[in-house]
Chain A
Amino acid sequence: MNGSLTLAVELAWWQQTGIRALVGLLAVLLPAGTLVYLFLFKMMSFMQSRLGPMEAGPYGSLQLLAEVGKFLQKEDIFPRKADRWVFMAAPFVVLISTFLLVLVIPAGPDAWFIDVDTGIFFALAVSSISVIGILMAGWASSSKYSLLGALRAAGQLVAYELPLVLAVMGVVIQAGTLNVQDIVMAQATGEIFGWGGIGNPFILTQFLGFAIFLIAVQAELTQPPFDMPVAESELVTGYLTEYSGLRFLLFFIAEFATAGIFSALASTLFLGGWYVPGLDPTSNLFNVLGPAILLGKVILVAFLIFWFRFTYPRFREDQLQQLAWKVLIPLSLVNIVVTGILKVVF
């Protein structure tokens, strides 16, 4: 994906950038589509003793394309009192956040989009931009359900951003770097008490961080059991209520793409990213195998996320805030202190 991949041809800057943009689009849409089909269509159906989509393509595998076609045909509706510009811009603000997030995830020793020094810090910063898009959507719809949904969403996203950031800190302390590629390398070349057979995936030492990260991700995605912002029995669909057709589709894609990217971040930080034990982490083979390995780990982590989504009932608003402020944040602070002490001792 970049010049150092010793290709036979030397690519110009604009060619490299063009390839990166295309691959970035693919890296956002492919996991999103995979997650929607595998989990939302099929796993949820099987858990509820039904078949799910079966008509379009073998086992309903083309259902996604049919859905996209359906959304594209629908009328583009604006509420009469809506603030047109803000209403139109809101889904794109959320999408921008998603596209910036995918940039930091490496898929091989040379297969990355941008090699930023601030790495994971950059990812957490751009993930907070989506809150603005959600508030814009809720306010511009000029509907009480949308506004209430957006306010609940903002309160929840701000509250759960803290445990998300603090859970990552343990990994950063252990790896000694913010750079995502270096974190993968630290896991690939790490040793467990002198034994380097499987590297040192941080899930072993940072299991608490992994658990807090996944819970916070669940809340950031406003999925059940943290779906107060879109609680359909109270708020129709919260800030999405007034959106239809293509604009609704953009929000939908952003939600599942973000689910995929957060799963990729979790696999990169805690499960070793594109690395599998047994091969040399600098070998060129990983530039080809890496994306597939990463996608496999993404499906594994996303399975956990969606399993929770389809299993647990909704939290009440006060329980939801208490969980963040009184349980997750203190726990993650303890995790940071313990990790810091152990880092100094060993």
Chain B
Amino acid sequence: MSVLAALEGMDRLSGGEVLIAQNVAFGVLALAMVAAALRMVTTRNVVHAALYLVVVLAGVAGMFILLGAEFVGVTQVLVYIGAIVVLFLFGIMLTKGSFGEDDGVTGERRLVAGLVGLLVFGVMAAALVESFEDAELSRSGPSTTAELADSIFSDYIVPFEAVSVLLLAALIGAIVVARRD
């Protein structure tokens, strides 16, 4: 796993080459993401929390680019930073008139949130370790967008269409819920 290799301080990928620049970049991104994630859940200001989330998501995009998944990284920026966080901010600003500290955020459900967080971490870590074990990251360079498109529309066409239908259903559901008449 590339992530663990980076933590050990050297990538031993085929031929004993050490990827210093990648490891430094990973360290900087990881530190920034962890710090921003901690501030996001501890700050009492909802808008600040959303802005810290932007830093975390930008870090994720950077990670994808480090791993050579350029298209996924750019999609991360377009969908999460450009659309979802903007909707968060939009919703917060439309519904909440006050500026500064928000008394409503007390963190009373901290315990439950922590448990859910641990559970998600456990499931994802187990899934990653289970499926990759000690496989090494391929050194064949970044994957091109054309290859990605080919595999989505040939090998993964059924899951892709299923997700599309799911999103369409969610969209129609939202309109039905929002309409009063």
What is A's interface to B at a CB cutoff of 8 Å? 81, 83, 86, 116-118, 121-122, 124-126, 128-129, 131-132, 135-136, 138-139, 142, 147, 150-151, 154-155, 158, 161, 177-178
Question: Which positions 61-99 of chain B face chain A at CB distance < 8 Å?
Answer: 70-71, 74-75, 77-78, 81-83, 85-87, 89-90, 93-94, 99
Are A124 and B93 also in contact (CB < 8 A) when A81-B99, A116-B70, A118-B70 are? Answer: no
CA distance A81 to B94 in the complex (A): 19
What is B's interface to A at a CB cutoff of 8 Å? 47-48, 51, 54, 70-71, 74-75, 77-78, 81-83, 85-87, 89-90, 93-94, 99-100, 142, 144-146
Query: Is there an interface contact between B78 and A128, defined as CB atoms closer than 8 Å?
Result: yes
CB of A101, distance to nearest CB on chain B (Å): 12
Query: Is there an interface contact between A128 and B83, defined as CB atoms closer than 8 Å?
Result: yes
CA distance A106 to B164 in the complex (A): 34
Query: Is there an interface contact between B82 and A131, defined as CB atoms closer than 8 Å?
Result: yes
Query: Is there an interface contact between B93 and A161, defined as CB atoms closer than 8 Å?
Result: no
Query: Is there an interface contact between A151 and B93, defined as CB atoms closer than 8 Å?
Result: yes
Q: Which A residues are in CB contact (< 8 Å) with B99?
A: 81, 83, 139, 142
Query: Nearest CB to that of A116 among chain B residues?
Result: B70
CA distance A97 to B9 in the complex (A): 33
**The 7 residue pairs across chains A and B that have the minimum distance between CB atoms:** A128-B82, A125-B78, A142-B99, A125-B77, A135-B89, A125-B74, A118-B74
CB of B96, distance to nearest CB on chain A (Å): 10
Are A131 and B51 also in contact (CB < 8 A) when A121-B74, A139-B93, A178-B145 are? Answer: no
Given A83-B100, A121-B71, A131-B86: 7 more A-B contacts, CB < 8 Å = A122-B74, A125-B78, A128-B82, A128-B86, A138-B93, A151-B93, A177-B146
Query: Is there an interface contact between A129 and B81, defined as CB atoms closer than 8 Å?
Result: yes
Query: Nearest CB to that of B58 among chain A residues?
Result: A129
Are A129 and B82 also in contact (CB < 8 A) when A81-B99, A121-B74, A135-B93 are? Answer: yes
CA distance A158 to B74 in the complex (A): 17
Query: Is there an interface contact between A117 and B81, defined as CB atoms closer than 8 Å?
Result: no
Return 14 A-B CB contacts under 8 Å, by A number: A81-B100, A83-B47, A117-B70, A117-B142, A128-B77, A128-B78, A128-B86, A135-B90, A135-B93, A150-B93, A151-B93, A151-B94, A154-B86, A178-B145
Q: Which A residues are in CB contact (< 8 Å) with B93?
A: 135, 138-139, 147, 150-151
CA distance A138 to B81 in the complex (A): 18
Query: Nearest CB to that of A144 among chain B residues?
Result: B97
CB of A59, distance to nearest CB on chain B (Å): 41
CA distance A124 to B82 in the complex (A): 10
A129 contacts which of B48, B51, B77, B100 (Cβ < 8 Å)? Answer: B77
Q: Which B residues are in CB contact (< 8 Å) with A122?
A: 74
Q: Which A residues are in CB contact (< 8 Å) with B87?
A: 158
CA distance A147 to B47 in the complex (A): 13
CB of B34, distance to nearest CB on chain A (Å): 20
CA distance A135 to B83 in the complex (A): 13
Q: Which A residues are in CB contact (< 8 Å) with B78?
A: 121, 124-125, 128
CA distance A129 to B77 in the complex (A): 8
Query: Is there an interface contact between A151 and B90, defined as CB atoms closer than 8 Å?
Result: yes
CA distance A126 to B51 in the complex (A): 16
CB of B152, distance to nearest CB on chain A (Å): 14
CB of A156, distance to nearest CB on chain B (Å): 12
CA distance A116 to B145 in the complex (A): 10
CB of B1, distance to nearest CB on chain A (Å): 25
CB of A321, distance to nearest CB on chain B (Å): 14
Q: Which B residues are in CB contact (< 8 Å) with A81?
A: 99-100
CB of B10, distance to nearest CB on chain A (Å): 21
Query: Is there an interface contact between A154 and B145, defined as CB atoms closer than 8 Å?
Result: no
Q: Which B residues are in CB contact (< 8 Å) with A124?
A: 78
Query: Nearest CB to that of B87 among chain A residues?
Result: A158
Query: Nearest CB to that of A131 among chain B residues?
Result: B86
Are A132 and B74 also in contact (CB < 8 A) when A86-B51, A139-B93, A154-B89 are? Answer: no
CA distance A5 to B74 in the complex (A): 28
CA distance A75 to B124 in the complex (A): 52
Q: Which B residues are in CB contact (< 8 Å) with A155?
A: 90
Q: Which B residues are in CB contact (< 8 Å) with A158?
A: 83, 86-87, 90
Query: Is there an interface contact between A139 and B70, defined as CB atoms closer than 8 Å?
Result: no
Query: Nearest CB to that of B92 among chain A residues?
Result: A139
CA distance A131 to B71 in the complex (A): 21
CA distance A151 to B48 in the complex (A): 17
CA distance A147 to B142 in the complex (A): 42
Query: Is there an interface contact between A117 and B144, defined as CB atoms closer than 8 Å?
Result: yes
